[in-house]
Structure 1
Amino acid sequence: MNRLRAAALLLLSLAYPVLVYLAMGRFEPRWLALLLFALALLRAVATRQPVWLAASAGAGVLALLATVLNQALPLKLYPALVNAVMLAVFAVSLRFPPSAVERIARLSEPDLPPQAIAYTRRVTQVWCGFFVLNGTLALATAFWASERTWALYNGLLAYVMMGVLFAVEWCVRQRVRAAHGHG
């Protein structure tokens, strides 16, 4: 059941910009805030980690603002909030190792050699840069772009950029592993 809940949460999170875009103009923002509140509530129930509880609280505040003000802007700020949270998670892990990417890598390879640890630290830094760029663009589209542009960027282009970063990193990792005799 936990996997089903996690999968539903992931799908809802990924589809959020598209769902909001499709509902804009058909429903008042205060009713769309229910979607964001449901997402925040699911996230809070699904995790016990303080950072995700804080993110859920932030989403709850955005939902409350959308409800009280009956404005779409708080709904459009959610992708920027997610990027800010991810940036915080990855940046804090650089200050207090192991890095976020090292933790993920250790799930499949518990005994990482020192060069792999250095590599995962560098990849974590790259992801921090990605979250800064992506979060800035998410914020800019929320404030200054049309709803269509906001949905296109946050519901498609951001995911394409993420996929490209994953693919490039995977290719680089294969070369690094081969260079160190692990490939």
Structure 2
Amino acid sequence: MSRWRTAAIVAALAGYALLSHGLMTWWPEQPWSIAVLFGPLLGGLLIAGIAKRHVPSLLGAAGLGLVLALVQQHDGGSRVEMLYVLQHAAMHAVLAYGFGITLREGSTPLITQMAARLQRSLPDAQRAYTRRLTVIWCAYFIAMIGVSLLLYRLAPWAWWSFYCNVLTPLAAIALFIGEYLLRYRLHPEFERVTLASAWQAWRAVDAAR
């Protein structure tokens, strides 16, 4: 991927995050705000349902669309805010489940699966490390839900919106890059893997599931 393309993607994601924060802070109940803020989730469910013939995804998209329509029709207010919180929590819960279920006895941890796609062999030390890293990501997603609920209950709505739209993606990026930089300080014997190849391995494992 070229630097210009990477920069364009980063700029687009940053722009969407700031736009979402603005819409969620000042016009959370407006129909066009709801369309922009729930559009990616609805689109993702529809694409997954159609492309993979995944009935639960299609049912989830239909159910979410119905709930949004009912809330909008009955003048959402705090109900719309709760839906935003639930969307944030549900997405992190799905990710936590996706990582956590691979930690069961007899299963291969998710990040171990990714590492196996990038390297011909995995020594025991690397298998143990990737398992611990899978645990860390699972715990991270659960912690993000806890922080979200605390902010929603105790802080102004604008604070929660900033946390959801700006701090959430930044925290994920910081953990991803921080682990990448720390990995070779702790384990210089590990093979070098680029961030781009790690992302490709994630997509490959996700597609195979």
TM-score (norm. length: structure 1):
0.72
Aligned position for 2:88? 79
Aligned position for 2:133? 123
Aligned position for 1:3? none
Aligned position for 1:39? 40
Aligned position for 1:5? none
Q: 1:170 aligns with which of 170, 180, 202?
A: 180
Relative distance call for 1:127 and 1:60 in structure 2 (3 A) is farther
Aligned position for 2:115? 105
Aligned position for 1:89? 98
1:53 paired with 2:54, answer no
Relative distance call for 1:24 and 1:182 in structure 2 (3 A) is closer
**Which runs of 5 or more residues in structure 2 are unaligned?**
1-8, 193-209
1:18-61 residue CA offsets vs partner (Å, 9 max, x unmatched): 425425544635553333543233112332396x9389547557
Root mean square deviation, CA, Å: 3.6
CA distance in 1, matches of 2:112, 2:53: 18
CA distance in 2, matches of 1:42, 1:76: 19
1:62-103 residue CA offsets vs partner (Å, 9 max, x unmatched): 635643541322123321111111111111111162212122
Radius of gyration: which is bigger?
2
Aligned position for 2:149? 139
Deviation at 1:131, TM superposition (A): 0.8
Q: Which amino acid aligns with 1:67?
A: Q
Deviation at 1:114, TM superposition (A): 2.5
Q: Indicate the SS of the match to 1:77.
A: helix
CA distance in 2, matches of 1:87, 1:101: 13
CA distance in 2, matches of 1:182, 1:77: 40
